[in-house]
Structure 1
Amino acid sequence: MKFINHYISIFILFILPFALFSQVKNIGLPAIKNYKRSEYKGGTQNWNIDQDKNGNIYFANNSGLIQFDGSIWNKYALPNNTAIRSLKIDPSGKIYVGGNNEFGFFKSDQKGKLKYYSLTHLISKNDSKNINLIWRIHLYKDEVVFQSFTKVFFYKNNKLKVINAPKKFQFSFLINNHLYFQDKELGILEYRNHKLIALKGTTDLNDKEIWAMFPLPNNKILLATLEKGLFVYDYNSVKSWETEANAFVKKNTSLGGSIIKNKFIVLNSVLSGVIICDLNGKIIQHLNRQKGLQNNTVLTSYVDNKNNLWLGLDNGITFVNQNSPFTFFDYSYNIGTVYASVIFNKNLYVATNQGLFYHSWSTPFKDEPFNRVEGTIAQAWNIQVINNILLCASNSGALVIDQNRVSKTLDKRGYFGFKTIPSHPGYIIGESYDGFSIFKNTNNEINYVNQIGGFYETTNTFEMELDNNFLWLKKDPYLYQMKLSEDLKRFDYIKKHSNVSNSNKGIGSLQSIHNKVYFQSKNHFYRYSNEQEGFFEDKKITALFHGIPTINTLIEDRDHNLWYSYKESLGVLVKTANGKYQRKEALFSNLTGNLVNNYLSINTIDPGNIFIGLTDGLAHYDSKISNKFITKPKVFFESFSSSTDTIITGNLEKPITELRIPYNSNHVKFTFSSPTYENQENITYSYKLEPFEDNWRSWSTVSVKEYTNLREGNYKMQIKAKNSYGIESDVSQIDFRIAPPWYRHFLAYLTYFFLILAGVYIISNRIKLKIRRNKYYETIEQRRLYLEKESKIRHDQHELEKEIERLKSDKLQIKILAKDKELVSNSLQVVKKNKVLNGIIQKIKDIDTNTLDDSTKFEFNKLHKSIVKEVNTDKSWKDLEKHIKNVHFEFLKRLKEKYPTISPRELDLSTYLLMNMSTKEIAEIMNISTGGVELARYRLRKKLELNKKENLIGFLMSV
């Protein structure tokens, strides 16, 4: 401990003043981000760098102007497609550039797209010859200065003034608002009152190329030459600046540089990257390919608005996060995953997965890597100082380290760590791969004593703490409460706990706070009461972690700060002078995901030197550096485009107040950017399109959003960004309007309104006309219907009359048929009568009248004559035959037409059959025998071509 305190005093006296002086740290490396050519899609070489008021970074590149807004790279070429060698942005946003025989400026158009405006047309014909490369551009007072090897052009109010080089210009420099040029013969010239004035004592530099000039205290200027080193000029003479920085430049040559807060100088080199030195020439930081740069030739360097460093390389671009309290020891320092670190005997020791390494703590960390402690090639889990002895717990066993080598192996079993036993001074307990062992320190020498019996489980990922009564051991999901025997050879008592509280299940972590053992479950902290034989909550400690995500590990450092890890992230409760705690989490967000799981390693030497173990090295944290580097980020719309056009880009000088998009372009796309370059991969965005969305979308690293088929109306697109420290930006907003389609336009609706009115008017008139017409047609229709009804009535009446006539006719026919039948019957009776009378006449003829007297004979003859007269005068049959032919005329006609060969006699037979007369009656009428009737019927059937099955009478009725 004496050695540590002694060294801390030395460190504070000699090293810390430089750290306090600014953000540049001399311990470890800053975070470095390399951008390859394949990312920015440009040429290899980057000659100059500048930044606009929005924070966008611009690079003068071999292929043109490169713009970077934190999300997207854009490239803009000169008209002659030559390389851009110089670059400067004025407060108005104009980007002045210079190339080979060409110079001018880029300016945003109405849509924010950069357009190039050449100034070479302002040069007279004489001066336009041999312009050469424009190497430097300066904003000097109210003029823009373009400098080539042969000429210098002064641009003001759209006019150019030209000064030719006395011999040949090298480069020009603007220092403290003084403009200087180097001439090959006259030395350094100062531009005053539109003239070049030679400075005294500077011709000694004619054989040297000056690439940079920096202001120094006491009105001196530092000159950086290409190959001859660094020189100091006091306006009388030039002297070599004999410093570490000068030695570096002479060895590696210089390509200029930049200055940080007028306190630190950045020197670019050709052969070995870049160095940062103080104003006394002491190298504070050296970055090269071995330290993370992708190229050792640095053509230009630039300090941005957050004092971070940009490097334009011979092949690529590099961002160096100087404005951070964190620096890192990575693979370039020859170390891997760090599980623990400690300072002992002026050396910093780190336990890694590749063994134990050390680095001198009393000399500055420059280019020297960590060295392996001899004999520790295996996994080292812990490195501790106990009783002023350095102990290493490793896979090779319990090791004593002395003079940077393993001086003694206490036990060859693997160990995880060691702790002193409070109730047994001089004794140490070791946590091994198969239980616990006891070691004893006697006269500053540690020896192995014995293994503790009763517990032999593997203790990997265990957490162990000791108090005066128990050894506490956490092995998921249990907490072991064990009591050592008095002779330290066994555990007399072992109890297993699955919970320390009924309300908060499980055991989160085991830790020692203020030398007391605490048990954490869901951010509630408990202690064990030996008197009550149970756990009780310490509400004061629990209150400290209110609002903090559930932690998984907690460590109290030497300054009583409480370091905790949660979800692979880190936070700390810093104990202040008044005994309260201040929470810090955002600072450590860039370490998220890099902490070693279950092996949180925090080594606090003092507030300015805190080491944190990482999966890929060791982080150095200086808590005394102001956290003003955590600033509110800005967010911009990098572009806003529709399906047919890019409406705006992020280069707008003034926001557009009203944007109108046609309906056929209602597929819109937004891209966002936040020119925040520290931990850029952790920048997240949230957005909301009103009134399409009511709530902000979840935070995401995606910087593009598209909306399709938006309806017409007014919209507000709002975005915000959140940096890696959890700080949110102000909201940026674009107001735009989607025009309705022509058929939903206001004029369309107005037209629809008038058309509706016209339609209503026309339809109303047409309806009225139709009503009148309908009434007319209704009258006509009623008249027609009346006439139809009348006609129908007449027709029905006529039909009725016809029916009546028909019925009468049918009735008459029936009567006629009946009369016919009756007539036939009567006629038959008459025939019978006549037959009887003829028989009587025959019989009278047979009577002999001679026998009768005359009177009787007279009467007899008189009777005979009367009977003969009656028979001869009876025409009934002829009348009957005539009547039958008249009644059945139509039948006889149809039958005759159908069968022309039919005879009259057969017609009579057909008529008699139609009248349904019997064979006997027909025989009597036709005066033939019944057999003759049957023969006549047979002949008639044959004439009518009827088969045997067909009924003759039925056929006749169907004719």
Structure 2
Amino acid sequence: MSFVESRISKIYIVFAFFYSIIGISQIKNTGLPDIANFKRTDYRAGTQNWCIGQDKNGTMYFANNDGLLQFDGSSWRTHRLPNRAAIRSLKIIGDKIFVGGYNEFGYFEPNSKGRLTYTSLALQVNENHRSQIDLVWKIHEIKGKVIFQSFEKNYIYDGKQLRQAEAPNRFQFSFEVNGALIFQDMINGLLRYDEGQFTTLPNTQALNGTEVWGIIALSPNRWLIATIDEGLFLYENQQLTHWDTEADSFMRKNSCLGGEIIQKNFIVLNSVLDGMIICDKNGKIIQHINRKKGVQNNTVLSSFVDNKNNLWLGLDNGIAFINESSPFTYFGSSYDLSTVYASAVFDGYLYVATNQGLFCHKWNKPFQEDSFNLIPGTTGQAWNIQVVEGQLFCGHNRGLLQIEGNKVVKNLNPNGYWGIKKIPGTDGFYVGSNYQGFAIFRKQGRNWSFVNNIEGMNKSANTFEVDGNTVWLKKDNLVYRMKLSSDFKKFSSVKTYENLAKDKKGIGSMQRLDGKIFFQTGNKFYTYAFDLDGFTPEKHYTALFRNLPSARYVQQDKLGNIWYVFNESMGLLQKKPDGSYQSNVSGLSNLTGFLVNDYFSINAIDQNDILIGLTEGLAHFDSNLPGTENKRPKAFIRTFSNPEDTLQVANLKGKIAYEIPYRSNKVKFVFSSPLYDNLENVEYSYMLKGFDEKWSHWTNMSVKEYTNLREGDYEMLVKVRNAYGVLSEPSAFTFTVSPPWYRHWLAYILYLSLAVLSIYLIRRRVRLQIRRNKYFETIEQRKIYLEKEARIRQEQYELEKEIERLQNEKLKIKILSKDKELVNNSLQVVKKNKVLNGIIHKMREIDTETLDEAAKFQLTKLNKSIIKEVNADKSWNDLEKHIRNVHFDFLKRLKDIHPDITPRELDLSTYLLMNMSTKEIAEIMNISGGGVELARYRLRKKLNLAKKENLTGYLMRI
């Protein structure tokens, strides 16, 4: 770097630093700041808000008709006075919030649980005089004392006791000015109060006929006095004069309700009829914000400048937040602008191309707050507005329009146009991109003319570049390289490219940077090489974009700054004097979601005036104004609650050891952060140590609940990310969930004692049980032995009985066998006797006369011998006797079943049971065979047998 360049760089740095210091106390006079309105339905309290304050944590408080409103950026709370009166004044001193209302004043202070509790100081006033307190309109702190001002008295509180000071006549309002307390007396004018004494300020009696609503110190000896109906006055060197300025004229017309100093060099003035104004110390109006400009109500009862130099307005109906610290202001619907596609400043006018037409407005400082004017003949879609060689052209749906002043002087071609670009190296020839392709225009002197349409391409877009005789077109994720013929009547060749490199699919953007055309995809930049008919990587811009979000559109303004679009947001690489770039992403996040898709419009007039097209108007960006976006936000755990208790953690002093019972192990956390700009983009991340293993995902939800926590120590960590992506330090709160009674350490001691006692008792019982078991085992063994012995004896007895039975059966069998044998022998004897009888019968048939005496004698002797044998035989009686002995049991059972059976039938039954044949039975019973069958038939009748039932079978079953 040369010596001259070094000196210039140092001078620029010094100038930039000096300008940044000035910029800190700068109210933008171009466009309107971002405004957020809070309606009564949002904060759920009264309509009017009379006073505003902010505590050390950044929490906002409002004196509301329903009580004290508290807003922490996440939620609203209302704290009411005991008599439910409206609060008209408030003053935050340390941890106390002093408030005053009708016949009531006192302070809210966090208790041991962080909840705001109210202490009434009005109770120290004599009970008979409390109804005379009236409205407490102002609260001041002077020399460690808090002064509550009503119309009749001052109530002075030193932290312990309350004393009273009567008004000389009747007070109106009071004000703190350079450490002094100034009262307006209705007769004596302005009074200085010091240690209980009132001193009249000279030449202020002229204010007696009006109400003073504000006194603002412009310097130690120069005060601005705002009255409700007489306008603005200056009190300087003990002289009271009208402040004859724009601000005074405005307030005379709209009635002033006081004001504030903002950014040290500007004054906020509230009005009854037309919102509020911000003027400089010379009374020149810099900003005017009313209902038309975005505030929901035109009556501003109070105003307050917070710790970030942003402005809060307490309205007659609602609350408004005005982001005065932002480098952005806006031209929106209040300026009659809609979607903006392009803008340009030319000949003292700001021209804006919108979807409704081309609008213009005087470009001067301060910017006049009136609407843009539609240029006649431009109603409809205006795509572009550009200055070409000292002349202004509008690419419009109706054609390429030449603009001079506030009118259309010529339509060069009625086709719809996106814009025009010069063909380098030619004598005034230009290429225009229109709805049907491309056309040629020529400039001769100051005259423009349409030449011809270019054949060979019927596609077009607003993204095109001209490089020599080559026209480049980016459309539908493709790049077209079109070579113009020498007569400019056609494209002699058209080639399409889908990729910039083999490993890089698609084409993200095409742009001209430092006069050269570049192609980009995935933040990798390429240039076209004609000798290779392909694209080669470029290192400088690739390195510049290496750590930036993936850009889908890149544009360089005339100051050398590079703007890019990613997702729905935009970023800036601001060029420094040494040629390097400074990245700015977070500062532009205000515009996220409001950029016009595929029609990115940047108009950098200078570093202080950069215009950006939006879907709802035009944004004005002053890149030299330091915003608050890079300041680290603060995260708070606002409340911690469980089913039994609630802690306002943000209000607690220092760390506390907090323990909750196990039955209340369901907890809820509410987070907050005093971030009031872009509330919808504030996000939280949290982690409960002891439960969560990692931080949660970022979320807009400011509430988190945990259920069924186990006993133990926990630490809740929360951090916040503002709308610009800047993170806070984690905020922490520790607590302990005590164990249930059955898991308490005393319970474990009891469990151990019970376990030891149980072991002792069990051991003792086991020993007794062992002894008892041994005893019972002995008894049992003895019993088993006796039972076994008895069983053996029984078995022995049964065995003996069985032996006896078997022997009896064997004996019976033997007897039966003998009886059977006897029966058989008896039957043989019977047969023998029968044979002998037959012989006797035959011998009787012998004729003895023919025999000799000896033969006759022998025959007679033989006959007598046979008869003797037959008569002496008792086999038949023995047979019947033995048959009855053998079948005694059978005969007994048969007799029991059939008592009327005869002995003869019993004998027959016995013979049948013995399975004797009819012939045998006939022989034994000495009857014929027919007699046997008849006896069988009668026996069946006697036994009541069915025809088919077998008689012998029946007898065997008995």
With the shorter chain as reference, the TM-score category is: over 0.9
Provide the C-alpha distance between the structure 1 equivalents of 2:491 and 2:949, rounded to a whole number of angstroms: 133
Provide the C-alpha distance between the structure 2 equivalents of 1:856 and 1:378, rounded to a whole number of angstroms: 182
Q: Deviations over 1:8-60 (max 9, x none)?
A: xxxx9xxx999736131111111001111111111111100001111111111
Counterpart of 1:880 in structure 2 is: 879
Secondary structure of the residue aligned to 1:715 is: strand
Provide the C-alpha distance between the structure 2 equivalents of 1:357 and 1:228, rounded to a whole number of angstroms: 39
Counterpart of 2:176 in structure 1 is: 174
Alpha-carbon spacing, 1:101–1:866, altered in 2? closer, same or farther (3 Å): same
Counterpart of 1:8 in structure 2 is: none
| Mapped contact 2:114–2:652 kept (Cα < 8 A) | yes
1:376-455 matches, cutoff 5 A: 376-455=378-457
Provide the C-alpha distance between the structure 1 equivalents of 2:851 and 2:505, rounded to a whole number of angstroms: 170
Secondary structure of the residue aligned to 1:134 is: coil
Counterpart of 2:641 in structure 1 is: 641
Secondary structure of the residue aligned to 2:786 is: helix
Provide the C-alpha distance between the structure 2 equivalents of 1:472 and 1:843, rounded to a whole number of angstroms: 166
Counterpart of 1:72 in structure 2 is: 75
Deviation, 1:872, is: 4.4
Counterpart of 1:113 in structure 2 is: 115
Deviation, 1:103, is: 0.7
Counterpart of 1:52 in structure 2 is: 55
> Normalising to structure 2: TM-score of the pair?
0.93
Alpha-carbon spacing, 1:105–1:585, altered in 2? closer, same or farther (3 Å): same
| Mapped contact 2:465–2:473 kept (Cα < 8 A) | yes
| Mapped contact 2:51–2:62 kept (Cα < 8 A) | yes
Provide the C-alpha distance between the structure 2 equivalents of 1:536 and 1:917, rounded to a whole number of angstroms: 134
Secondary structure of the residue aligned to 1:775 is: helix
**Residues 1:25 and 2:28 aligned together:** yes
Provide the C-alpha distance between the structure 1 equivalents of 2:845 and 2:699, rounded to a whole number of angstroms: 154
Aligned length: 941
Deviation, 1:469, is: 4.1
RMSD of aligned Cα (Å): 2.6
Provide the C-alpha distance between the structure 1 equivalents of 2:876 and 2:892, rounded to a whole number of angstroms: 22
Secondary structure of the residue aligned to 2:824 is: helix
Deviation, 1:69, is: 0.9
Q: Deviations over 1:86-116 (max 9, x none)?
A: 011112x211111100011112223322222
| Mapped contact 2:438–2:454 kept (Cα < 8 A) | yes
Counterpart of 2:4 in structure 1 is: none
- Stretches of structure 1 lacking an aligned partner (at least 5 in a row): 1-11
Counterpart of 1:795 in structure 2 is: 794
In structure 1, give the amino acid aligned to 2:60. Answer: I
Counterpart of 1:9 in structure 2 is: none
| Mapped contact 2:711–2:736 kept (Cα < 8 A) | yes
| Mapped contact 1:427–1:438 kept (Cα < 8 A) | yes
- Tell me which of 31, 40, 45 is aligned to 2:43: 40
Q: Deviations over 1:418-477 (max 9, x none)?
A: 2222211433322222222222222323233333333333x23x3111223422111123
In structure 2, give the amino acid aligned to 1:63. Answer: D
Q: Deviations over 1:300-326 (max 9, x none)?
A: 000001010000001111000001111
Counterpart of 2:828 in structure 1 is: 829
Segment of structure 1 superposing worse, 912-921 or 501-510: 912-921
- Tell me which of 101, 110, 123 is aligned to 2:103: 101
Q: Deviations over 1:816-862 (max 9, x none)?
A: 22211221222233334445556677788899999999999999988
| Mapped contact 1:387–1:444 kept (Cα < 8 A) | no
Provide the C-alpha distance between the structure 2 equivalents of 1:260 and 1:519, rounded to a whole number of angstroms: 47
**Residues 1:705 and 2:700 aligned together:** no
Deviation, 1:525, is: 1.2
Provide the C-alpha distance between the structure 2 equivalents of 1:873 and 1:197, rounded to a whole number of angstroms: 185
- Tell me which of 195, 198, 207 is aligned to 2:197: 195
- Tell me which of 210, 227, 230 is aligned to 2:229: 227
Alpha-carbon spacing, 1:812–1:668, altered in 2? closer, same or farther (3 Å): same
| Mapped contact 1:323–1:629 kept (Cα < 8 A) | no
In structure 2, give the amino acid aligned to 1:615. Answer: T
| Mapped contact 1:40–1:73 kept (Cα < 8 A) | yes
Q: Deviations over 1:859-918 (max 9, x none)?
A: 998877766655544433333333333333322222222222222222222223333333
Provide the C-alpha distance between the structure 2 equivalents of 1:557 and 1:878, rounded to a whole number of angstroms: 158
In structure 2, give the amino acid aligned to 1:673. Answer: S
Segment of structure 1 superposing worse, 34-43 or 442-451: 442-451
1:315-330 matches, cutoff 5 A: 315-330=317-332
**Residues 1:248 and 2:250 aligned together:** yes
Segment of structure 1 superposing worse, 502-511 or 123-132: 123-132
Provide the C-alpha distance between the structure 1 equivalents of 2:220 and 2:848, rounded to a whole number of angstroms: 209
Provide the C-alpha distance between the structure 2 equivalents of 1:437 and 1:838, rounded to a whole number of angstroms: 168
Provide the C-alpha distance between the structure 1 equivalents of 2:837 and 2:373, rounded to a whole number of angstroms: 178
| Mapped contact 1:923–1:933 kept (Cα < 8 A) | yes
Counterpart of 1:521 in structure 2 is: 521
| Mapped contact 1:285–1:366 kept (Cα < 8 A) | no
**Residues 1:239 and 2:241 aligned together:** yes
Secondary structure of the residue aligned to 2:931 is: helix
Alpha-carbon spacing, 1:912–1:240, altered in 2? closer, same or farther (3 Å): same
Deviation, 1:483, is: 2.4
Provide the C-alpha distance between the structure 2 equivalents of 1:363 and 1:614, rounded to a whole number of angstroms: 22
Counterpart of 1:600 in structure 2 is: 600
Segment of structure 1 superposing worse, 194-203 or 880-889: 880-889
Deviation, 1:775, is: 2.5
> Normalising to structure 1: TM-score of the pair?
0.93
In structure 1, give the amino acid aligned to 2:39. Answer: K
Segment of structure 1 superposing worse, 259-268 or 734-743: 734-743
| Mapped contact 2:712–2:738 kept (Cα < 8 A) | yes
Segment of structure 1 superposing worse, 374-383 or 868-877: 868-877
Provide the C-alpha distance between the structure 2 equivalents of 1:305 and 1:559, rounded to a whole number of angstroms: 34
In structure 1, give the amino acid aligned to 2:399. Answer: G
Deviation, 1:157, is: 2.5
**Residues 1:342 and 2:341 aligned together:** no
Alpha-carbon spacing, 1:456–1:826, altered in 2? closer, same or farther (3 Å): closer
Deviation, 1:757, is: 2.9
Alpha-carbon spacing, 1:811–1:489, altered in 2? closer, same or farther (3 Å): same
| Mapped contact 1:62–1:84 kept (Cα < 8 A) | yes
Counterpart of 1:625 in structure 2 is: 625
Q: Deviations over 1:531-567 (max 9, x none)?
A: 4443211111111000112212111111111111111
Provide the C-alpha distance between the structure 2 equivalents of 1:477 and 1:855, rounded to a whole number of angstroms: 170
Q: Deviations over 1:197-255 (max 9, x none)?
A: 22222222211211111112252211111111111112522111111111111111100
Provide the C-alpha distance between the structure 2 equivalents of 1:766 and 1:308, rounded to a whole number of angstroms: 82
Counterpart of 1:61 in structure 2 is: 64
Alpha-carbon spacing, 1:312–1:871, altered in 2? closer, same or farther (3 Å): same
| Mapped contact 2:477–2:508 kept (Cα < 8 A) | no
Counterpart of 1:130 in structure 2 is: 132
Provide the C-alpha distance between the structure 1 equivalents of 2:648 and 2:265, rounded to a whole number of angstroms: 37
Segment of structure 1 superposing worse, 879-888 or 537-546: 879-888
Alpha-carbon spacing, 1:919–1:297, altered in 2? closer, same or farther (3 Å): same
Deviation, 1:511, is: 0.9
Alpha-carbon spacing, 1:922–1:414, altered in 2? closer, same or farther (3 Å): closer
Counterpart of 1:576 in structure 2 is: 576
Provide the C-alpha distance between the structure 1 equivalents of 2:238 and 2:851, rounded to a whole number of angstroms: 218
**Residues 1:820 and 2:849 aligned together:** no
**Residues 1:679 and 2:678 aligned together:** yes
Counterpart of 1:7 in structure 2 is: none
Alpha-carbon spacing, 1:865–1:377, altered in 2? closer, same or farther (3 Å): closer
Provide the C-alpha distance between the structure 2 equivalents of 1:362 and 1:484, rounded to a whole number of angstroms: 43
- Stretches of structure 2 lacking an aligned partner (at least 5 in a row): 1-14
Provide the C-alpha distance between the structure 1 equivalents of 2:853 and 2:24, rounded to a whole number of angstroms: 202
1:537-616 matches, cutoff 5 A: 537-616=537-616
Deviation, 1:279, is: 1.4
| Mapped contact 1:200–1:235 kept (Cα < 8 A) | no
Q: Deviations over 1:274-331 (max 9, x none)?
A: 0111112111111111111111110000000101000000111100000111111111
Deviation, 1:628, is: 4.7
Alpha-carbon spacing, 1:209–1:629, altered in 2? closer, same or farther (3 Å): farther
In structure 1, give the amino acid aligned to 2:84. Answer: N
1:727-742 matches, cutoff 5 A: 727-742=726-741
Alpha-carbon spacing, 1:902–1:321, altered in 2? closer, same or farther (3 Å): same
Provide the C-alpha distance between the structure 1 equivalents of 2:723 and 2:153, rounded to a whole number of angstroms: 47
Counterpart of 1:150 in structure 2 is: 152
